[in-house]
Structure 1
C-alpha cells in the first residue's frame, strides 16, 4: 500500500500537469479509435468541446450514454490515478453507463487490477478508478476527489446532489462533468441548458441532438421506419418531439404549468421599511424553508428572499433569519397548522415573530390550495383576455369564421396562443414574482413539482403531487391560501389589509 502511494506521488510530482489536465479532443479521438468507437457527428461535436462542464439533452437512443461512457474510459486510460463516477438516480440506471464502460473494457482487452459488477467498480492497471454510483443515498457520494463525473438522467436527480455533493468533489482536481438526459419539461436540466446557452455560466457548453441523428441506430434519419413508427405510436405529438427530437415541451406531469422562468423570475428588490411576511415549511430531515414576501403593488406578491437549509433545527433557522436585512420589517409568519403548535413559541421567544396556522378547512386542501396558487401565477380572467385577442387576430389574418369553427380547432388556437403570447403579456397576468438572485431553490421547485406518472395510459393522476421538490412550493401555497382564500384577518398593520 505504501509503495502504491509513493508511486502515485511520483506520478503527480513528475507529470501532474499532464495527469490532471482534461483530455484534448485529439487525445479523446485517439482513445476512441483504440477502443473501436466511432462517434456519429453529433457525438463528435460534443467530444470536440473543451468546456469543463457540458450539458447534453438528447433524444432516446441518440447515443448520450454511449458517448459519456467512452469519454470516461478515455480519461481513465490516458490519465493514470484518475477517479471518476458515473452517477444516476437509481442503481439500476447507474448500470447503464457503467455496463457500457465494462463492455468496452472487455472488447478492447484492457488489463484491470480489479473489476466488480456488484460493486460497480473498475480499476485499470494504471490505477485509474471508475465507479458507478446511485444518487438515492446522496451521502455516499461524498469523500473522494474526482477527475470526472457523468450524471445520467440528470433531470431526475435532485439539484443539490450536484451542487453540494459532486461539484465540490471536482474542485481540487479541476475535474470535468457531463450532464446527460432526455428533457422532461422545463426542469432543472433544461434550466442549466438555457443558462449555458445564454452565456450565464462560464466554462460550460450546451448541446442537444435528436434520436435520428444517431445514424447507426436510425440510418434513415427522421424518415427511418423505427422513428416513424415511434411517432405514430406516440399519442401526444409534443411527447414525441421531446423524447425523440430533443425539443423540450411543458411536461404533462407538472403541477404548476403556469410557471415560467421568463415571466415569474426577475429582480424583486427588498423595500426597506415596508412590511415583510414570512411563510414557513419546517423541515426535520427535509429542507426547512422560509420565504420572505413583500407587497409590490397591484395585488402582486414579491418573493424577495428565502432560507432553505437541510438538517437544521428551528433555533438555527432563527439565527439565519435574524441576520437577514429584512428581519426588522417582519410583520408576522404563516406556517402549516401541523407544525404551528410546536414552532410558534420558539419563534415568539427567540425572534419576537408571531406565527399563524394555515386554515386547512377542507378535506381536499392540497388540491384546492394548488388550484388557488395557480390562479395567482396566472390570473385566468386576464389571461383569457389576451388569448381571445390573439385568436381574434389570427382569425382576421387567416379569414377563419370563429362562429363556424369546431371545438377542436378552437382549442388548437387557444393552445397556440399560450405558446405565442409574449413574456410581457404573460407578466401582466402574473401576481407572483420571484427574485432570481435570492430564491434559487424556490425557482427550482416551481419547475420540478410533479404529479405521479399514471401507471397505465388512460388512468387518472393522483390528486396529491409527489412528495419531492415541494418544500418551497408548500410554503408559497400556504401563503396564498391564507391571504387570498380568507382575506386579511390579523390585527397587525399589514399591507394585505
Structure 2
C-alpha cells in the first residue's frame, strides 16, 4: 500500500499479537487466556481485510454465540478502529460497517445458523466457539468461504470438549491449519502478582480453564480431569514411539454385548509408563481381538484381564479365559477390588504415564471425561461413576493400575503382573 494511503486506525498490536498474526494460515485456531486481547486483535483483522481485499464487494464477519454478545463484546471496538477511515459508514441496527471501497464487516450471532445461509464471505472470526454448535462452521460458514477462498479464525477459551475442541483437534492434525495456544503462565501479559491473586481467589478448575486454557479442568465431577490436564501441560500427551526392546503389556475390559477395550503399555526404566496404543470395538469375539494383537508390530509381555473372565458362558460351558488360552493368549487376572480403590490406583500411576496422542486419542478422552453424576437439585455428586462411553477404557486402565506390579532390583525396575 502506498504510504500516502496508509490510515492510522489507532490499533497498536502487542508484540505477541503481532507474532500470532504472522503465523496465521487460511484456517487458524487461537486458544488464549482471558485478557489476552483476542477480540480486539480479531476485529482489527476483519477491518483490515475489508479495506485491503481486492475482490469486488468484500464481505467479512464476526460471529459470537449470540447477536447481543457480538454487540456487547465487539461492536464498540469495531467502530472505534474503523472511525478514522474517511467515508466509512456505521449501521447500528444491522451491526454493519461499510467501507468506501465496497467492503463490509458484519456482526452475527451463531445461535441461529440458518439465518447465515446464503451469504458469501472473504474472512470470518468465530469468537467463543465453545458456546456454538459445530454445524455453524461445517454446514453454513465453510461453504460460504469456498468460492472466494476466504479465511477463518477461531478464537476462544476452553469450556470442556465441544465445537472449539473439535476445530482445535483438527487444526493440530491438519498441516494446512494453524493451531496456537497461549496460557497466562506463559505470555507474561498479566502481572505475575495479579495472576497469583486470581489463582488464590478462583476455583482451581475455573482458573485452569480461563487462564491456563485447559479443555479438561472444567468437567464437573471428573475423576482424572486435573491429572489429565497436568499431562497435557507437562507434554506427556504427545508422540510416544514404540520401543521394540521393551515388551508391551495389555490390559483389557472384556465386554459381552458392549465394547471391549485394550490398552497397550510399556513399562520404562525408572518407573514411567509409555502408553503406546489403545483399541476398542464392540460386537466382536475374542478371535477378532487376538487378530488385532497379531497385526500390531509389538512384542508382548503380560496380558491383564478382569476377574470375571473366569465366568463360564452358558452357550459353550467354557470361560473366556479358556477360550483366550485356546487362541494363544494367557491372561493374568487383575484383583477384584472395589471400584474406588481402582480409581485411586489410576490416580497413583497417571503422573508417570506418557500417552501417544494419536493412537490413544479415544482412551485419553475417556480418562478425561470419566466422572460422577451431579444432582443439580441436591447439589451433590453421586458416590459412583457414570456408566457411559468412557467406562470401558477406564475399566481397562483400572485393571492395569491394580494388576500390574513393579519389582525393584538395585537400580533397575522389573515388572510383573500379580494374579488374584
- TM range, normalised to the smaller chain? 0.5 to 0.7
Query: Judging changes above 3 Å, is the alpha-carbon distance between structure 1 residues 212 and 382 closer, same or farther for their aligned structure 2 residues?
Result: closer
Q: What is aligned with 1:111? A: 87
Separation (CA, whole Å) in 2 of partners of 1:195 and 1:30: 42
The question of whether the paired residues in 2 share the 8 Å contact of 1:170 and 1:176 is answered with yes
Please give the alpha-carbon distance, in whole angstroms, between the structure 2 residues aligned to 1:58 and 1:30: 36
Task: Measure how far apart 1:296 and its partner are.
Answer: 5.7
Q: Partners of 2:159 and 2:337 in 1: how far apart?
A: 25
Q: Which residue of 2 aligns with 1:206?
A: 179
Q: Of 74, 93, 112, which residue of structure 1 is paired with 2:69?
A: 93
In the aligned structure 1, how far is the partner of 2:198 from the partner of 2:6?
A: 31
1:58 maps to 32
Measured in 2, the distance between the counterparts of 1:86 and 1:252 equals 28
Q: Is 2:206–2:217's contact at 8 Å kept on the other side of the alignment?
A: no
* Gaps in structure 2 of 5+ consecutive residues: 238-255, 259-280, 290-335, 391-420
Instruction: Give 1:353's aligned residue.
Output: none
Distance in 1 between residues matched to 2:31 and 2:208, nearest whole Å: 12
Q: When the two structures are aligned, how many residues end up with a matched partner?
A: 291
Q: How does 1:213-292 map to 2 (within 5 A)?
A: 218=190, 221-223=191-193, 225=194, 227-236=195-204, 238-253=205-220
Residue from 71, 76, 83 that aligns with 2:59: 83
Q: How big is the shift at 1:211?
A: 4.2
Per the normalisation by structure 1, the TM-score is 0.48
Distance 1:298 1:386 in 2: 30
TM-score by length of 2: 0.56
The structural deviation recorded for 1:92 is 2.1
- Alignment partners' CA distance in 1, 2:58 and 2:148: 9
Give the corresponding residue for 1:144: 119
Cα deviation, 1:74-129, whole Å, max 9, x if unaligned, reads 101111521011111111221222331112112x24422x4222211111111111
Say which SS state the counterpart of residue 185 (structure 1) adopts: coil
Paired position in structure 2 for 1:74:
48
Rounded Cα–Cα distance in structure 2 between residues aligned with 1:417 and 1:47: 40
**Aligned in 2, Cα 1:182/1:50: closer, same or farther, shift over 3 Å?**
closer
What SS does the corresponding residue of 2:41 show, helix, strand or coil?
Answer: helix
Larger proportion of helix:
1
CA 1:474 to 1:94, structure 2 compared with 1: closer, same or farther past 3 Å?
farther
Alignment CA distance shift 1:58-1:33 (3 Å): farther
Once residues 450 and 191 of structure 1 are traced to their aligned partners in structure 2, the CA distance between those partners, rounded to angstroms, is 24
Q: Distance in 1 between matches of 2:372 and 2:11?
A: 38
Alignment of 1:396-411 (within 5 A): none
Contact 2:33 2:211 in 1 (8 A): yes
> How large is the RMSD of aligned CA atoms in angstroms?
5.0
Q: Deviations over 1:440-488 (max 9, x none)?
A: xxx99x97x9999989xxx82799xxxxxxxxx99979xxxxxxxxxxx
Deviation at 1:250, TM superposition (A): 2.9
Residue 138 of structure 2, aligned match among 163, 178, 181: 163
Asked if the contact 1:62/1:213 (under 8 Å) is kept, the reply is: no
Please tell me whether the aligned partners of residues 61 and 107 of structure 2 are also in contact (alpha carbons under 8 angstroms): yes
C-alpha contact 2:29 2:155 (8 A) present in aligned 1: yes
Contact 2:121 2:144 in 1 (8 A): yes
SS of corresponding position for 1:179: strand
Does the 8 A contact of 2:7 with 2:85 survive in 1? no
CA distance in 1, matches of 2:216, 2:30: 16
| Greater strand fraction, Structure 1 or Structure 2 | 2
SS in 1 for 2:77: helix
Residue 42 of structure 1, CA deviation? 2.1
Is contact 1:86-1:98 (8 Å) kept?
no
Which of the residues 12, 34, 51 maps onto 2:8? 34
**Residues in 1 aligned to 2:124 and 2:81: alpha-carbon distance in whole angstroms:** 18
SS of structure 2 residue aligned to 1:101: helix
2:174 match: secondary structure: coil
The SS at the match of 1:169 is helix
Deviation at 1:298, TM superposition (A): 10
Mapped partners of 1:78, 1:239: distance in 2: 40
Query: Does structure 2 conserve the Cα–Cα contact (< 8 Å) formed by 1:121 and 1:130?
Result: yes
Find the residue that maps to 2:158 and give its secondary structure.
coil
